[in-house]
Structure 1
Amino acid sequence: MTETMETATSTTPKQPQISEMFSKFALAFKTKTFEFFADETAAADETTDVDAGFSLLDSAEDFIPDQKVIILKPDQPLSQNQDFLPQKELAVKNGETQIKPLNTQLANTLISSVLSTVSSFEASYLQLQTAHVPFNEESIKVADKALVSALQRLSDLKQVYRDLCKNPDFGDDLPIGSCLEAQVEENQSKLRILGTVSNSLQTEIDQKDSEVSVLKKKLSEVQRFNSLSSKKLCSSLNLNSEVLLTVKVFDSVLNDACRTMHKFTKILVDLMRKARWDLDLAANSVHSDVDYVKKGHNRYAFLSYVSLVMFKGFNLEGFGLGSEGEVSCNGLGLDSVKSNSSLKQLLEHVSSNPMELLSRNPTCEFSRFCEKKYQELMHPAMESSIFSNLDQNEVVLNSWRSLSMFYDSFVNMASSVWTLHKLAFSFDPVVDIFQMERGVDFSMVYMEDVTRRCTMPNKTRLKVGFTVVPGFKIGRTVIQSQVYLCA
């Protein structure tokens, strides 16, 4: 029996003591804790934990039957400002930490109150700025008081926020109103801003209306003065005729007409180029078989075309607006009544703006003259080619700021030619107009080379290619015709 017990004692393993088991467990836990916080990857951590676990339990001496191994991880560190954020409240109850939810309604009300106060400050500041121009002392005081009140309100809300961070229960009975009340106050502040801006704009409108009224009054006075001056001029035609009816005045008005024709021709040629016209072919259709000295000289053909159309009918008293049997008055004297009538029309025309004259009286003689000359100058085929193509028209008009540039140039040209005609029929005898036929010999008395090439007599007699601008004869004085010369 004794031997059996000894055999059993020798074959059965010796159980470790309790204190010894806890000592080994504490040592293993400490080791595993250091390994857990080592700077390794997750996969390596798992492998290390498993291997270490098996190494801890692989001996029969260290094995603890019917026990569970628990690994405790440390809590995440609190953020630096967590103690001051009112999102959650940490409370200890029965030795356990509990988290109380945030009072969302109170937070929304606080934010709405801040936004409302900021809007109120913005409205008051705008009123303060507006009160300085023009200076209004009472409004400045009211706006300043409102600004101070808004800043004080913001300071109070800041203090409420701080108290709420320390103690979330502090805000349960705060007198800050509701979220809807704050939104209403914010909308009222926005309405104040809109009202201030509207009042400022209305003040500017009133000032502009006052300026317009003053300018209208001045315009009325100027028009009345011009009317009286026109009557005085018309009543003293005999005195004016001594000043106006001179060769120097006529030559000045003629130069102005030539200048406007040059400007209109340049615009017309540019429009043709934008419409992709063949300018050489177009110039040849005006004056055929002309040997131009330079390539760009075909512009003189277009200037000749515009000039001869505008001066067509210049020798007629009605400028071609009357009957077909209208009598030419070139070189003949007119009775004093007709002469004074032309001078009166001249003074009336130069005292008004031609554009305003067309809009004010579209049936007057000048308006009919403009209509007639435009139809003769811009015949339908030509006008259709330049303006009718919508796609191309956009390209053409985009090169100019607007079509009014073309229209204004034509009206100014027509006005200068109309003025020259009325001045010519105010002379006694009437100014004579002439132009040179193609192929005649050049004469320095009656002609002027438009290119300024023929200044000295040449051995070979140059001949006229075409007339660019007609010439005029006032009594015994001759104003030379401008011509383009050919060999």
Structure 2
Amino acid sequence: MAARASSLSGLLNRVSFSCLNAPPTLAPGEVDDSEPDEGGENEVAEEEPEEEEATAAGGAAEALMEEVFQAVAALKKAYVALQEAHSPWDPAKIAAGDAAVVAELRRLAWLRERFRRGTPSTEYPLRECIVPYAVAMADLKRDLKVKEAEIESFRERVLAIEGRGASSRKGRRRVRRSAAVAPLVGKPTADLFRGHMEEVRRAVRSLASRFLTLIRGARWDIAGAVRAILDAAGTRVPDLGAEHAKPAMEAYVNRKLFQGFENESFYLEGSLSSLLDPDKHRRACYAQFRDMRGMDPGELLGVLPGCPFGRFAAAKYLALVHPSTEESLFGDLDQRRLVQDGAHPRTAFYGEFLRLAKAVWLLHLLAFALDPAPSLFDALPGSEFSPAHMDSVVPRRRGLVGFAVAPGFKLADRSLVRARVYVVPADSSSESARVVPLIS
């Protein structure tokens, strides 16, 4: 059986070989128009696909290289635009330039994958198509959180205005007047100043709490620290224990940060712009307020450490944190050295301080954008407590001012931002009562 199979296989091979090599039999009257060279047609047919494949591969490679050069040129152009957006500082152009650079880098990465895989497809993979939309979605979510925070801030201001207006008809008229003015974007208002003052006070409370946490961590005598703070301010309050350390610390922080507030540059420069061209100076202050309001202070000073706000923050930090205090709380003077060298540390405490410095700086810009500027006042120790001008930080509502915690402001619409004070019994102090205006 095996011999039969073998002979049958051999027979088939011989038949097929003869069919391939023998010329075909022509019917009567049929003309043979084939080439005289047998097998030439097959060789040409085999060579042509190979040549076409090589040509196609070469064309795809050339097209790929052309796309690479185009992407590199576009990346260079986008990077130049990103650099130009930093001077002068333009957040919108910086964001657009950053997006363009990232898009070109992604394009180059995709071209590299095409080259590695040898795929001539010009279509982006699905994952690469989704990534830009995911980034845009994350940016929109971030913007939404910022807008929600602004809405919440405006809601608090409206509630505060309504609370003040409910006490008198004059207050209600002021609410209606402020509501009518609110839609006018681009104009500073007294209500905006009042709302931002609340942001300053929240930032002061936050920094004071962090300061006290560091002091407790260093095992300081809290009561002794409070007495030292009040003695430095020339205030004598008997029997003030550690439980009242927070208002004392807030008073210290406010005193340092608001010192020089009445001057257009906090006495850091000798500028007289507010006197030489008041209208232009007011417009410039409000424009800077709007531009800087949404910026992160750390990121801003990372790009422009020597800007006016950077110089203000450095001066206030050096005034607020004594060298011996810094060394005791942090173990070294590294932060102070960086600030003195014109840099801004990337530490948690300095970041908290920068948020407060930014809030005070924006309040200062807003004050000098108003016409006329708000008048700052502070209650001296021993002054009689006045509910119309002051808020007490303790439950006591009658007595004398032990020490001022935060300044107040008299605004152009005849409303007040009341000063915050620590009230003590009337027999605890004997100094005269008076309110001192610091800005005219």
CA distance in 1, matches of 2:331, 2:189: 46
Task: Give the distance between the partners of 2:140 and 2:420, measured in 1 at CA.
Answer: 44
Write the deviation string for residues 112-151 of structure 1: whole angstroms up to 9, x where unpaired: xxxxxxxxxxxxxxxxxxxxxxxxxxxxxxxxxxxxxxxx
Name which of 404, 412, 422 aligns with 1:467. 404
> For the residues of structure 2 that align with 1:207 and 1:281, how far apart are their CA atoms?
66
CA distance in 2, matches of 1:215, 1:310: 42
| Pair 1:453-2:396 in alignment | yes
Distance 1:422 1:304 in 2: 22
- Mapped pair 1:282 → 2:220: no
Counterpart-to-counterpart distance in 2, 1:422 and 1:432: 14
Show the 5 A alignment for 1:212-231.
none
The reply to whether residue 258 of structure 1 matches residue 195 of structure 2 is: no
> Which SS does the other structure have where 1:467 is aligned?
strand
Give the counterpart of 1:311 among 235, 258, 267. Answer: 258
Query: What's the counterpart of residue 164 of structure 2?
Result: none
* Corresponding residue for residue 416 of structure 2: 478
**Is 1:418–2:371 an aligned residue pair?**
no
State how 1:106-255 maps to structure 2 within 5 Å.
244-255=187-198
Q: 1:394-443 deviations in whole A, cap 9, x for unaligned?
A: xxxxxxxx983322211111111111111111100111111111112112
Instruction: State whether residues 408 and 417 of structure 2, in contact with CA within 8 Å, keep that contact through their aligned partners in structure 1.
Output: yes
Structure 1 gap segments, 5+ residues each: 1-198, 200-205, 224-237, 391-401
| Contact 1:316–1:327, Cα closer than 8 Å, also in 2 | no
Deviation of residue 213 (structure 1)?
A: 6.1
TM-score by length of 2: 0.50
In 2, Cα distance between the equivalents of 1:450 and 1:405? 27
Q: Deviations over 1:146-184 (max 9, x none)?
A: xxxxxxxxxxxxxxxxxxxxxxxxxxxxxxxxxxxxxxx
The answer to whether structure 1 residue 431 and structure 2 residue 374 are counterparts is: yes
CA distance in 2, matches of 1:322, 1:449: 36
* Matches of 2:185 and 2:251, distance apart in 1: 33
CA contact (8 A) 2:200 2:356 kept: yes
Is contact 2:200–2:360 with CA below 8 Å preserved after alignment?
yes
Pick the aligned partner of 2:331 from 379, 384, 388: 388
How many Å separate the matches in 2 of 1:436 and 1:328? 30
Structure 2 vs 1, CA of residues 320 and 209 (structure 1 numbering), >3 Å: closer, same or farther? farther
**Alpha carbons of structure 1 residues 371 and 293: separation in structure 2 relative to 1, 3 Å:** closer
Number of residue pairs matched by the alignment: 248
Letter in structure 1 aligned against 2:205: H
Q: TM-score, normalised by structure 1?
A: 0.45
Higher gyration radius (CA): 1
Distance 1:370 1:240 in 2: 33
Contact 2:268 2:312 (8 Å CA) reproduced: yes
Secondary structure of the 1:485 match is strand
Return the letter of the residue paired with 2:382: G
Per the alignment, residue 444 of structure 1 pairs with: 387
Runs of 5+ consecutive residues of structure 2 not aligned to the other structure: 1-116, 118-124, 143-180, 334-344, 426-440
* Counterpart residue identity of residue 361, structure 1: L
Distance, in Å, in 2 between the alignment partners of 1:245 and 1:270 is 37
Distance 1:357 1:367, change over 3 A: same
3-state DSSP class of the match of 2:401? strand
Give a deviation string over 1:298-356, Cα, whole Å, max 9, x none.
Answer: 22111100111111111111123213xx6798xx9972111111111111111422222
Q: CA deviation at 1:469?
A: 0.4
Residues 326, 332 of structure 2: 8 Å contact kept: no
**8 Å Cα contact 2:285/2:366 also seen in 1:** yes
The one of 290, 308, 313 aligned to 1:370: 313
Q: 2 CA distance for matches of 1:380 and 1:207?
A: 58
Post-superposition CA distance 1:264-309 (Å, at most 9, x none): 1101110011111111111111113423566411221111001111
Partner of 1:269: 212
Q: CA deviation at 1:389?
A: 5.8
Matches of 1:222 and 1:373, distance apart in 2: 35
Alignment partners' CA distance in 2, 1:482 and 1:249: 19
Q: Runs ≥4 in structure 1, deviation > 4 angstroms?
A: 206-223, 238-244, 292-295, 326-329
**Distance (whole Å) between structure 1 residues aligned to residue 185 and residue 133 of structure 2:** 39
Match of 2:23 in 1: none
Aligned partner of 2:268 in structure 1 is 321
**What letter matches 2:256 in structure 1?**
V
Deviation by residue 1:187-232 (Cα, 9 ceiling, x = unmatched)? xxxxxxxxxxxx9xxxxxx999887766778899999xxxxxxxxx
Aligned-residue offset at 1:240: 8.5
Q: 1:217 to 1:463 in 2, by over 3 A?
A: closer
Using the TM superposition, give the Cα deviation of residue 388 of structure 1 relative to its aligned residue in structure 2, in angstroms.
Answer: 1.9
The residue number in structure 1 matching 2:53 is none
Judge which range, 213-222 or 371-380, deviates more: 213-222
Aligned letter for 2:407?
P
Cα 1:261–1:292 shift into 2, 3 Å: farther
The answer to whether the 8 A contact 2:273-2:281 is kept is no
1:49-76 deviation digits (Å, cap 9, x = unpaired)? xxxxxxxxxxxxxxxxxxxxxxxxxxxx
1:302–1:428 CA distance, 2 compared to 1 (3 A): same
The 8 Å contact of residues 432 and 474 in structure 1, kept in 2 or not, is answered as: yes
In structure 2, the residue matched to 1:46 is none
Q: Distance in 2 between matches of 1:407 and 1:209?
A: 40
Q: Distance in 1 between matches of 2:215 and 2:130?
A: 44
Residues 267-276 or 439-448, more deviating: 439-448
Asked whether the 8 Å contact 2:297–2:358 carries over to 1, the reply is: yes
Q: What is the SS of the residue equivalent to 2:387?
A: coil
